[in-house]
């Protein structure tokens, strides 16, 4: 047994299901070999950033940790965006980087200070040695998952992973402990009992299956509505009678928020909210597993602990005074507001048509861009992490790598990647990854030949449209060059045909939706004011 075997065993104990990355010539070759011996799949990605995003997508779905590896220097630098994504999405991720062996002279070629490079976007950084590698990896996994989750970085010198394993075996991650106190339980009950119209806002910290069950039971008992952030789509299903829409701190949700007399933020992290001043006057109660920053949202109190346990202590509180039909009508009005007519094929039409055929069977991933607004409002989700999206970092180039992570985890279930053409340009090499792995990913690219969201902001500031035109690209031809079937869609009929063929495909495919972007400005104004 080698040190690499102990490392892989520790990863599997920490919930890692797949190792993603781009190998170099050092210790990560030993990690890949050990992963093969220990039946931990390794997936080669086109870029290191995509490897980190694919790994974090798996971590979000499983509730365990994700793991990726890179070579030293340029590989580590390339992974920064993906690691930053895990940092701001609050996802446990372990990134292994190659580094020169401690016994080598001070070579400067490709040498970077990896710890300094990742210092602002990881919870910890360490360098492995043979004697303590298993314990360090176990501690890193615990650090990644405990408190506010996030990425950790481990340097793996070239002579460590291949070394013979020392006696002692692998170390296991200790369980997390609940911090909910009796005083906090009483405080929570007092606040809730005094409110006539409390409103739940559910966020990224409340996506465990037990959280979703407890929240749904709480809504049914108290007869009150719940909004969800982008990351929490599905915790309260869109079809739930008390679903009150998506919350981002935007204008479109304010009619419901203003009617409430208490906001209960269940697992909401302020990193999820758009950066505009908090205007709501009613008290805001936070319930979650880790303390959050109070600089943006003025929380009246923060109740820390297990979410189902927290909600169980107020199970006997009286029913709220909300009118369910009124809430449902306002959600319908929100959806109508983002369905602005266009002369050509609108993004909202693509989302609605795709969701009609695919939402009941497929997970969906969403890239940053103007298409994100109809996607998050109009695509129904019925389970936690049924929609994966980068919200804290809001990075382009997310949807396809995240779909790779999700599809690798469950190869029998299709994944739909909704991406703009600008976002797909940033990770187009991952189309080949999907083909090589024979993943059931349906990539729908919203082709409007522009960085449309930036163009809208230029228009709002009366600036000329400079630096946003992408140019013409035949996405179907590009996809077919990788061996992937692809179909164009320019109207409702061709879109319906493409969706039918995509659903029948047993591997990856692509639909190029040629979008009329003329309604994006009106859509953004409807949502954000």
pLDDT in tens, 297-336: 999 989 898 999 888 876 566 678 999 999 999 999 999 9
Which is more confidently placed, 513 or 111?
A: 513
Residue % of the chain over a pLDDT of 70:
94
- Count: domains in the chain: 3
**Would you say residue 171 lies in a domain?**
no
Instruction: For residue 365, name the pLDDT band (cuts at 50, 70, 90).
Output: very high
> Do 431 and 316 lie in a common domain?
no
Residue 53 has pLDDT above 50, yes or no: yes
Is the pLDDT reported for residue 472 higher than 50?
yes
pLDDT at res. 180:
52
d(CA 270, CA 385): 19
153 by Cβ neighbours in 10 Å (0-12 / 13-18 / 19+) ranks as: buried
Query: What's residue 314's pLDDT?
Result: 63
Given a cut of 80, whether residue 192 has pLDDT beyond it is: no
Specify the CATH number for the domain of residue 462: 3.40.50.970
Q: Is 98 in the same domain as 150? A: yes
Same domain, 152 and 17: yes
Q: Provide the pLDDT for residue 287.
A: 92
DSSP 177-203: -----HHHHHHHHHHHHT-SSEEEEE-
Please report which confidence band the pLDDT of residue 181 belongs to, taking 50, 70 and 90 as the band edges: low
Task: Kindly state whether residues 145 and 191 are assigned to the same domain.
Answer: no
Distance CA 152, CA 157 (A): 16
Q: Is the predicted pLDDT of residue 175 greater than 50, yes or no?
A: no
Length of the chain: 529
Read off the DSSP letter of residue 18.
-
Select from 310, 330, 350 the last residue of a domain.
Answer: 330
On whether residue 465 sits in a domain, the answer given is yes
Query: How far is Cα 387 from Cα 230, in angstroms, rounded to an integer?
Result: 8
144 and 218, same domain (yes or no)? no
Tell me: do 343 and 301 sit in the same domain: no
pLDDT at 184: 66
Nearest to 61 by CA among 95, 94, 17: 17
Q: Is residue 293 part of a domain?
A: yes
Look up residue 389 and give its two tokens. Answer: 């999206």
Whether 149 and 190 map to the same domain: the answer is no
Same domain membership, residue 507 and residue 359? yes
- Calculate the average pLDDT of the chain: 92
Q: Are residues 203 and 116 in the same domain?
A: no
Residue 404 has pLDDT above 70, yes or no: yes
Q: Mark which of 308, 330, 352 sits at the end of a domain.
A: 330
Clarify whether residues 321 and 437 are in a common domain. no
What value does the mean pLDDT take over residues 81-104? Answer: 91
What number is the average pLDDT over the span 353-380? 97
- The structure tokens listed for 358 are 């695919």
Contact 426, 397 (CB under 8 A): yes
Claim to verify: residue 278 and residue 187 sit in the same structural domain: yes
On whether residue 375 sits in a domain, the answer given is yes
Cβ atoms of residues 258 and 239 within 8 Å:
no
Check: CB of residue 366 under 8 Å from CB of residue 401. no
- Domain membership of residue 480 (yes or no) is yes
DSSP three-state, residue 225? coil
Report if residue 163 sits inside a domain: no
User: Hunting for tokens 């190998």 — which residue is that?
Assistant: 23
What pLDDT digit, counting tens, does each position of 316-325 carry?
Answer: 666 789 999 9
- Among 190-199, 384-393, 415-424, 460-469, the range scoring the smallest mean pLDDT is 190-199
Question: What number is the average pLDDT over the span 210-220?
Answer: 95
Q: How many CB atoms lie within 10 A of CB 37?
A: 12
pLDDT of 498 reads: 98
| Residue at 164 is within a domain | no
Q: Which domain holds residue 431?
A: 338-528
User: Domain end: 300, 330, 360, which one?
Assistant: 330
> How far is Cα of residue 101 from the mean position of the Cα atoms in its chain?
35
3-state secondary structure 479-496: HHHCCCCEEEECCHHHHH
Are 347 and 289 contained in the same domain?
no
How many Cβ atoms sit within 10 Å of the Cβ of residue 275?
8
* H/E segment holding residue 20: strand 19-21
pLDDT band for position 166 (50/70/90)?
Answer: confident
Instruction: Pinpoint the alpha helices (H) of 194-323.
Output: 209-222, 254-259, 307-312
* Interatomic CA distance for residues 95 and 156, integer angstroms: 10
Q: Is residue 175 part of a domain?
A: no
pLDDT reported for residue 158: 80
**Strand 125-127 relative to strand 262-266, pairing:** unpaired
Kindly report, residue by residue over 116-151, the tens digit of the pLDDT: 999 999 999 999 998 899 899 999 999 999 999 999
CATH assignment of the domain containing 315: 3.40.50.1220
Instruction: Write down the pLDDT at residue 313.
Output: 72
């Amino acid at each position: 047994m080698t040190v690499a075997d102990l490392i892989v065993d520790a990863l599997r104990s920490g919930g890692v299901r797949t190792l993603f990355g781009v190998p170099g010539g050092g210790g990560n070759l030993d990690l890949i070999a050990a992963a093969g011996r220990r039946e931990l799949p390794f997936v080669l990605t086109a870029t290191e950033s995509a490897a980190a995003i694919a790994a974090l997508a798996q971590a979000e779905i499983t509730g365990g940790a994700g793991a990726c590896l890179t070579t030293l220097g340029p590989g580590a630098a390339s992974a920064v965006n993906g690691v930053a994504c895990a940092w701001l999405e609050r996802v446990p991720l372990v990134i292994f980087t190659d580094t020169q062996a401690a016994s080598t002279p001070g070579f400067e070629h490709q040498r970077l200070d990896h710890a300094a490079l990742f210092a602002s976007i990881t919870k910890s950084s360490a360098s492995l040695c043979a004697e303590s590698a298993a314990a360090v990896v176990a501690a890193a996994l615990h650090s990644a998952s405990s408190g506010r989750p996030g990425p950790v970085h481990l340097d793996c010198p070239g002579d460590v992973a291949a070394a013979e394993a020392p006696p002692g075996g692998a170390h296991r991650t200790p369980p997390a402990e609940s911090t909910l106190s009796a005083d906090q339980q009483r405080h929570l009950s007092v606040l809730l009992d005094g409110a006539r119209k409390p409103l739940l806002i559910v966020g990224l910290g409340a996506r465990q299956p037990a959280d979703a069950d407890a929240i749904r039971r709480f809504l049914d008992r108290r007869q009150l509505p719940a909004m969800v952030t982008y990351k929490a789509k599905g915790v309260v299903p869109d079809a739930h009678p008390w679903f009150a829409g998506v919350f981002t701190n935007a204008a479109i949700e304010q009619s419901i928020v203003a009617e409430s007399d208490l906001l209960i933020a269940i697992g909401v992290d302020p990193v999820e909210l758009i950066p505009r001043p908090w205007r709501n006057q009613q008290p805001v109660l936070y319930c979650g597993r880790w303390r959050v920053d109070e600089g943006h949202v003025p929380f009246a109190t923060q109740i820390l602990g297990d979410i189902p346990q927290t909600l169980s202590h107020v199970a006997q509180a009286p029913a709220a005074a909300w009118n369910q039909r009124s809430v449902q009508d306002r959600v319908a009005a929100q959806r109508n507001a983002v369905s602005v007519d266009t002369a050509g094929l609108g993004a909202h039409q693509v989302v609605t048509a795709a969701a009609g055929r695919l939402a009941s069977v497929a997970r969906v991933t969403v890239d940053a861009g103007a298409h994100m607004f109809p996607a998050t409002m109009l695509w129904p989700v019925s389970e936690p992490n049924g929609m994966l999206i980068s919200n804290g970092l809001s990075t382009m180039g997310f949807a396809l790598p995240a779909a790779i992570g999700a599809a690798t985890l469950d190869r029998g279930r299709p994944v739909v990647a909704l991406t703009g053409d600008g976002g797909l340009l940033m990770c187009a090499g991952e189309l080949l990854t999907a083909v090589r792995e024979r993943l059931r990913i349906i990539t729908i690219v919203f082709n409007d030949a522009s960085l449309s969201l930036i163009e809208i902001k230029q228009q709002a500031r009366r600036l000329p449209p400079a630096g946003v035109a992408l140019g013409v690209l035949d996405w179907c031809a590009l996809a077919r060059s990788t061996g992937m079937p692809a179909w164009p869609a320019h109207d409702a009929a061709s879109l319906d045909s493409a969706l039918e063929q995509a659903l029948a495909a047993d591997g990856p495919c692509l639909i190029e939706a040629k979008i009329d972007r003329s309604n994006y400005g009106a859509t953004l104004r409807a949502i954000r004011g």
